[in-house]
A = this chain, B = another copy of it.
Amino acid sequence: MQFSDRLQEKNSHCATVTDIQTVSILGATGSIGTNTLDLIARSADRFQIESLTAYKNVSQLAKLAKVHNAKFAVIGDETKYKELKSYLAGTSIEIGSGETGLIEAGARQADCTIASIIGSAGLRPSIEAVRQGHRVALANKECLVAAGDVFMSEVSLANAELLPLDSEHAAIHQVLCRGMLDEVKQIIITASGGPFRNWTAKQITAATPEQALRHPNWSMGAKISIDSSTLMNKGLELIEAHHLFAIEPERLKVIIHPQSVVHCLISYYDGSVIAQMANPDMRTPIAYCLAWPGRMASPTEPLDLIKLQSLTFEAPDTERFPALDLAISALIKGGSAPNIMNAANECAVAAFLAHEISFTDITRIVEKCLEKADQQNLLQPVGTIDEVLALDHEARQLVGRLIDQN
């Protein structure tokens, strides 16, 4: 049998790419949502939109629902329900609002649900999507960082196909999905190093929000840009990788790679390392999730290594960027520790952006919050989403007091 025949045979069980897929997008007006719709518009004959949701941007939601012929449009902010209704008057598009509406959008049957609502608001709708037992492309970090154990047992129960929708984890999935985990020596996630990679410890102390927001390679929201500059983002990604790929913390590693072209490296016991690379463009991981287990074209600029000339790598400096080690210790601690760390970090980042605390205060306050939580016996295993949300609330109050005392 020739190699090409063998490939053909191996893949004969895969869904034909000509089947029309129904897709729901929870968080349609954000960066992931609009990039997904951009891709879908380029292959409109392959996809049909079931639900689209947004939190506040009602005019944009209405426009997208009409252009993409969605069946169901949901606005998270209840006060905008009437506005959405008037925008969509005369169409056959069903309308929903509030958390009930978002949950219904997640629960409505779709071959693939893009779960890209930001923050803890994304927890329940994402879990509803998982419960369908179909494919869920997950961009919401809280499902894994704050509620990893709860969320993954829902995935198991529903026998859902969970695909990660960010560049690093989609990269790992591309390499790992067809190998055996016990042959893997290490999973390495790359980090750009952020805008302060070459700053001295003293310079970093005086870093302003404006400076921290200048991410070298990706254009992202404010929260994630700050997380990239502290390296907390990579810490959160290690926690996600742990849950997504059922891999212990000891086999996870971060490496600084300023060009953000290599997204992951998986090393095997025979000395082989398989890496995934791509220009930084979210449409590549989105296309991967939409077309899985096949592939589809994306307008991402093709990688040109000759033009790039050089890919560089260095060790992360955990002295100047202590957030990474903090996240790793929360991951090892397990239970509610990552949940509390995540809530504390969100508040601390908001306080930094509001010029209430300094850049180095962010990680210091998160660390203090975890210590306090430990003293108050809050670092416990969690079994339900209600517990996750209650602890999230408590952590935010705790960190609020710490910020006030700062």
Contact = CB atoms under 8 A, between A and B. Distances in A.
Interface stretch (A23-31, A117-125, A286-294): A286-294
A270 B246 contact: no
Contacts of A173: 3
Given A181-B7, A274-B274, A314-B306, A269 B246 contact: no
Nearest to A188: B305
Contact of A269 (B155, B156, B265, B296): B296
Contacts of A6: 177
A85 to B, nearest CB: 38
A93 interface: no
Interface stretch (A215-223, A276-284, A390-398): A276-284
Chain A interface size, as a band, is 35 or more
A44 interface: no
Contacts of A278: 271-273
Contacts of A272: 171, 174, 276-278, 284, 288, 295
A311 interface: yes
A298 B311 contact: no
A165 to B, nearest CB: 13
A3 B315 CA distance: 29
A296 B271 CA distance: 9
A334 B291 CA distance: 36
A384 interface: no
B271 A179 contact: no
A3 B245 contact: yes
B283 A271 contact: yes
A275 interface: yes
Contacts of A305: 255, 265, 313
A162 B4 CA distance: 12
Given A180-B7, A309-B313, A303 B269 contact: no
Contacts of A287: 270-271
B271 A279 contact: yes
A265, A281, A303, most chain B CB atoms within 10 A: A303
Contacts of A183: 294-295
Contact of A178 (B161, B178, B296): B178
25 contacts: A1-B155, A2-B155, A4-B246, A5-B156, A7-B176, A11-B180, A179-B295, A267-B302, A267-B303, A269-B296, A270-B283, A270-B288, A270-B295, A270-B296, A270-B298, A270-B300, A271-B279, A271-B281, A271-B300, A271-B302, A272-B288, A274-B276, A275-B277, A306-B315, A310-B312
Interface of A: 1-7, 10-11, 14, 152, 155-156, 159-162, 171, 173-181, 183, 185, 244-246, 255, 262, 265, 267-279, 281, 283-284, 287-288, 291, 294-298, 300-303, 305-306, 308-315
Given A1-B161, A274-B274, A311-B313, 19 more contacts: A1-B159, A1-B160, A3-B176, A4-B181, A5-B156, A7-B181, A180-B295, A185-B302, A265-B305, A271-B302, A272-B277, A272-B278, A272-B284, A272-B295, A273-B277, A275-B276, A308-B313, A309-B313, A310-B312
